[in-house]
Amino acid sequence: MMYRFICCTLLWAGVLLLTTPVGMSQGPPSATDAAKAKKALQEIQDFIGLWNLEGTQKVGAKTEAWKESVSWGWKFKDGAAWLIVSFAEGNGKYFTSGELRYDVAKKKYVLTLTPAEKDATPQQYVGDYNRGMLKLERTDAKTGDVYRITMNTAAEGVRFVFRYEKQSGGKGLFNTVFAMNGNKDGESLAGGGPKKPECVVSGGAANIAVQYNGKTYYVCCSGCRDEFLANPQKYAK
């Protein structure tokens, strides 16, 4: 009887281990790990905001194009911080939404995206940020195909570039499946405007005003706004 109990316990523990996504812990992170994760995500602070993009893809000899808004913001819970992304308010051509976390133990960025197909299983891409570019990959367990996502900003944070590529069978060159490029909402390549204030929560460029004790502070997204309003004394310092 005891043998069966031990076996069942070990089996259940194995199931929990296999079903826990990379970069996700089973409890709140330590203060040290939370700070490290937030600092790593601040490296891509320029992603935050609403982007008006144009997508393109090759279909035979033709190039198809479409418009799609992509919005990035911060999310805070139980001391943890990560980024969330929405594609066309949940109606993107290829993806609907996702979240980007940083795995402190593995020193990797982990992007989990929900495909646009109905009842599709979320996909997880893992990678690094280097020289201004975030590059993440996943391998299809059935086909061996490798899918790569690269993202970066350009023109001093005014322009956003998103590329989705595929390497058939995990061999040879990567071929572009689709790409999306465009400007931040309300911005132009001409630039020349005044420097934006700094977000009191994340440290990035801010454009949303919040009030506390008669003073005005600025945050970069709705996630940072909610975090500030929940802990105003912490950030007003």
**pLDDT < 70 stretches in the chain:** 1-26, 190-194
- Supply the pLDDT for residue 196: 76
- Supply the pLDDT for residue 188: 76
pLDDT, tens digit, 9 for 90 and up, residues 134-172 = 999 999 999 999 999 999 999 989 999 999 999 999 999
- Supply the pLDDT for residue 3: 46
61 torsion bin: left (phi>0), alpha (psi -120 to 50), beta (else): alpha
Distance CA 99, CA 11 (A): 30
- Supply the pLDDT for residue 16: 39
In the chain, where does the domain assigned CATH 2.40.128.20 lie?
29-184
Could you tell me the two tokens for 148? 């790569």
Q: What is the pTM of this model?
A: 0.84
Q: Name which of 181, 187, 182 is nearest 196 in CA terms.
A: 187
Non-local CB neighbours of 236 within 8 Å, separated by 6+ positions: 200, 212, 213, 215, 217
Distance CA 187, CA 198 (A): 17
- Supply the pLDDT for residue 78: 92
- Supply the pLDDT for residue 237: 82
CATH superfamily of 29-184: Calycin beta-barrel core domain (2.40.128.20)
Q: Name which of 183, 182, 165 is nearest 174 in CA terms.
A: 165
Phi and psi angles of residue 195, each rounded to the nearest 5 degrees, phi first: -70, 135
- Supply the pLDDT for residue 28: 82
**220, containing H or E segment:** none
- Supply the pLDDT for residue 29: 87
In this structure, what DSSP letter does residue 222 have? H
